[in-house]
Amino acid sequence: MKDGRPYKDALWFSVEKPSAEGVENSAVLTFWFDLNPENWTYGLGYYAAKAATMEKLRARIDDNPQEFEKLIDLLNSQDEFKLDGPEYARKKQAPTEKTQEWYNKKSFSLIHFGKIGEDLFSANLVDKIVSGYSFLMPFYDYFIKADGGQ
């Protein structure tokens, strides 16, 4: 660029099931790692879930809210990942109070935000990420089944 900044200043990778023909990768459940000048992130989620995907998730929650509440409790028991994502302007009525925050997401991710610093350059980074992705596997299994995957 003319101002001396690089054209691309972010590095990221993602791991997802191959999408069906005509389905954009942004609408596929994805594990990712992202590095940019301000911070680094990793996690699981959708960049831009389709409305039908979120409808299927809400339907699965409706069928058995207690099953999903166990995942919410698991997420709330740690501080590595936080629920993130845009919400609907008009609130949808969830089956339980505990599921309300999830129920109103247009799309979501379970994300860890890290600052550029020692953690990023530590030899323990790989172990941290492997442990984090392992923690997220029950969520992946739940979401992929809700969306009709195996």
Q: What is the pLDDT of residues 24-45, one digit of tens each?
A: 555 789 999 999 888 999 999 9
- Closest to 113 in 3D by CA, of 82, 134, 75: 82
Average of per-residue pLDDT values in the chain: 87
* pLDDT surpasses 80 at 93: yes
- Closest to 44 in 3D by CA, of 138, 119, 145, 117: 138
* pLDDT surpasses 90 at 119: no
Task: Round to whole Å and give the CA distance between 132 and 36.
Answer: 20
Q: Rg of the Cα trace of the chain? A: 17
> For a pLDDT cut of 90, what percent of the chain falls above it?
66
The pair phi, psi for residue 114, each rounded to 5°, is -120, 145
Please check whether residue 12 is in contact with residue 41, taking contact to mean a CB–CB distance below 8 angstroms. no
* pLDDT surpasses 50 at 130: yes
The pair of structure tokens assigned to 122 is 């530590």
Mean pLDDT of the 2-26 span: 64
Domain boundaries, the chain: 35-146
Residues making up the chain, counted from first to last: 150
Place of tokens 């600052």: 115
In 51-141, beta strands by DSSP E: 82-84, 109-115
How confident is residue 2, by pLDDT bands cut at 50, 70 and 90?
Answer: low
Say how far residue 4 (Cα) sits from the centre of its chain.
Answer: 33
Task: Round to whole Å and give the CA distance between 27 and 40.
Answer: 22
The pair of structure tokens assigned to 8 is 């691309």
